A and B are shown apart, each in its own frame.
Chain A
């Protein structure tokens, strides 16, 4: 089986204290419908916990959902933890309430793509199919 035909394994994670998880859960359902294997971490996970789940699950990509405004520091911490665990090549996506001006900031940190609130599921799916395998 080649990497391209194996289903993508995606970890959807909620870092920080924010409890808005409708978006994260709905994206989980959409990715599953698209044939991907999805693990949802649940709320209030520390960056270290999220990186640990990514390692344990052998995730091709990690999607962070943040709606509280703390996306930049939280993403920075998650990326640092992924690096610490030696899986810095994991594709990282960020979704939620992300102001346009922060998209470039997040990409500079190493985020592959930003899908703010209102993004089309189809765009997320096709992005992951194209870039999800790292």
Chain B
């Protein structure tokens, strides 16, 4: 179709892009009838009528390392610099449901995030932070039940009413099997545990978002933008199906689901992905699931990160990339934004780099007019045409997933993982061959001094202190009571009841993450990866 010597152009996820778009192209792609107003079904243009004029995005950098005390200090620093939410990073033992004194935890305590063993750590991390003003996002998946339970127990102990508590847990276990890898239990009971948290929050913590469905990590693992959105929405549907099967009304829980998507790559492809995904989710909720409450149909999201787009070569370029990625996020109508920092390709972000990310978002919000009007790209022949096309592509892949047995079966058999790894391999080969340009990597390469990867200094002292603290907590708590409460968790799990209330009781008595997960593993078993 391209003429006059213009080479054809394709986005990574498939669609061909014309060198110019007109009203006829838009009409041919399905027109603009399905767009609607911002704040109205199907929310193509955003979920609020006046978007950022009404509700500026939340800025929430991912942070956490070492002990609760060290993380608490970083939290205070970020809040002092104008950050309006917290996004907590946990260390790998915590994420994998292991206590700091577990042999498998050796060398990992506090390394890539904050170490949490018991309620004592949660209390110290959030001491004096106003949980009614600062919304907290817990990046926890496999061990989400005990960690959410600890957060709720801590908030309640501090005198906050759970009925008004806001915040998010990532708690999207299905994507952990595809990328990121902090699964603990087999696929089916893992979904059941997500269902427990969704049901519990719908009943008792209604303003809290118990799940943030992550296309993000699937994309970071290699998926293209269509796969990211299709797998993400299919996973969200799997959770919805599961909770509906419990007899919970769709409008009682669907507004608690939120999303997390990636922002690197082609700017237009990302913007159209988000607008298409938002419209598709609204239609699914209304038409497939019969939701009546518009809030149930709104795709609320954090659109951020972009880690896979950053490079270790010429790392200052990442500052520029980060600014463009943030622009994508703002043009896409995100509710929350976070940026990978420019040094994040080779280290845990320095304070300086984390602040630059925050300033990048603040410049967009306060200086250059990104908040002036809702969905500024709405109505563009190009953007609307490609939003229609992306929606068609995503719908097509979702139908394929359904036809091959559904997303849960696709993940349990490793089919989805395989498709994502193959896409990662193709992308890598395209980069190597220069078919896809990456500045500083396969073009405009400079002879630069080889940059050293810097790991955040691992503190043996902090790890030892954490292990001692755990021993002290175990020594001071009422052990008989903890044992009884852990048995109650086992009884609930065996009976197939919702385990969240019993886990809250147990962690309130200072049962540890490792102890709760051990009991659940004894009931549910451990996940075995399919052979690829």
CA distance A28 to B176 in the complex (A): 20
Residue of chain B at shortest CB distance from A72:
B107
Given contacts A17-B93, A69-B111, contact A40 B532 (CB under 8 A): yes
Given contacts A17-B96, A44-B96, A73-B107, contact A22 B432 (CB under 8 A): no
**What residues on B are CB-neighbors of A118 within 8 Å?**
312
B180 beta carbon closer than 8 Å to chain A = yes
Cβ–Cβ contact A17 & B92, under 8 A: yes
**What residues on B are CB-neighbors of A40 within 8 Å?**
531-532
B447, chain A: closest CB distance, angstroms = 16
**7-36 of chain A: CB within 8 A of chain B:** 16-22, 25-26, 28-30
CA distance A92 to B393 in the complex (A): 43
B377 beta carbon closer than 8 Å to chain A = no
**What residues on B are CB-neighbors of A18 within 8 Å?**
92, 112, 181
Given contacts A22-B179, A69-B111, contact A101 B425 (CB under 8 A): no
**What residues on A are CB-neighbors of B92 within 8 Å?**
16-19, 68
Per-residue B-contact encoding for A42-56, CB less than 8 Å = 1, 0 else:
111010000000000
**73-117 of chain B: CB within 8 A of chain A:** 92-93, 95-96, 98, 104-108, 111-112
CA distance A28 to B528 in the complex (A): 19
B455 beta carbon closer than 8 Å to chain A = yes
**What residues on A are CB-neighbors of B425 within 8 Å?**
25-26, 29-30
Chain B interface helix/strand/loop/mixed: loop
Cβ–Cβ contact B104 & A22, under 8 A: no
B458 beta carbon closer than 8 Å to chain A = yes
A100 beta carbon closer than 8 Å to chain B = yes
Residue of chain B at shortest CB distance from A24:
B421
A98 beta carbon closer than 8 Å to chain B = yes
B287 beta carbon closer than 8 Å to chain A = no
Given contacts A20-B181, A46-B104, contact A26 B452 (CB under 8 A): no
B58 beta carbon closer than 8 Å to chain A = no
**What residues on A are CB-neighbors of B96 within 8 Å?**
17, 44
Cβ–Cβ contact B107 & A70, under 8 A: yes
A130 beta carbon closer than 8 Å to chain B = no
Chain A interface helix/strand/loop/mixed: loop
**What residues on B are CB-neighbors of A17 within 8 Å?**
92-93, 95-96, 98, 104-105, 108
Cβ–Cβ contact B452 & A42, under 8 A: no
Partner among A25, A44, A69, A73 whose Cβ is within 8 Å of the Cβ of B421: A25
Cβ–Cβ contact B424 & A70, under 8 A: no
Residue of chain A at shortest CB distance from B180:
A19
Cβ–Cβ contact B421 & A29, under 8 A: yes
Cβ–Cβ contact A19 & B181, under 8 A: yes
**What residues on B are CB-neighbors of A121 within 8 Å?**
428, 432
B453 beta carbon closer than 8 Å to chain A = yes
Per-residue B-contact encoding for A109-122, CB less than 8 Å = 1, 0 else:
00000001110110
B29 beta carbon closer than 8 Å to chain A = no
Cβ–Cβ contact A25 & B454, under 8 A: no
Please give the number of chain A residues whose Cβ is less than 8 angstroms from any Cβ of chain B in the complex: 32
Cβ–Cβ contact A69 & B432, under 8 A: no
**What residues on B are CB-neighbors of A16 within 8 Å?**
92, 107-108
**127-165 of chain B: CB within 8 A of chain A:** none
Given contacts A17-B96, A43-B529, A70-B108, contact A22 B222 (CB under 8 A): yes
**What residues on A are CB-neighbors of B455 within 8 Å?**
69, 97, 99
Given contacts A46-B104, A97-B346, contact A22 B421 (CB under 8 A): yes
**What residues on B are CB-neighbors of A25 within 8 Å?**
417, 421, 424-425, 532
CA distance A116 to B222 in the complex (A): 19
**402-457 of chain B: CB within 8 A of chain A:** 417, 421-422, 424-425, 428, 432, 450, 452-455
CA distance A20 to B107 in the complex (A): 17
A109, chain B: closest CB distance, angstroms = 15
Partner among B98, B111, B450 whose Cβ is within 8 Å of the Cβ of A70: B111
Per-residue A-contact encoding for B264-303, CB less than 8 Å = 1, 0 else:
0000000000000000000000000000000000000000
CA distance A120 to B90 in the complex (A): 32
Given contacts A18-B92, A25-B532, A44-B96, contact A99 B424 (CB under 8 A): no
Cβ–Cβ contact A69 & B458, under 8 A: yes
**What residues on A are CB-neighbors of B106 within 8 Å?**
73
B224, chain A: closest CB distance, angstroms = 14
Known contacts A16-B108, A18-B92, A18-B112; can you find 18 more A-B pairs with CB under 8 A? A17-B95, A17-B105, A17-B108, A18-B181, A19-B179, A21-B179, A21-B181, A25-B425, A26-B222, A42-B529, A43-B181, A68-B92, A68-B111, A70-B108, A97-B453, A101-B452, A116-B453, A120-B432
Query: Which of B's residues lie within 8 Å of A, judged by CB?
Result: 92-93, 95-96, 98, 104-108, 111-112, 176, 179-182, 220-222, 312, 346, 417, 421-422, 424-425, 428, 432, 450, 452-455, 458, 528-529, 531-532
The 5 A-B pairs at the shortest CB distance, nearest first, are namely A19-B181, A42-B529, A17-B92, A69-B455, A25-B421
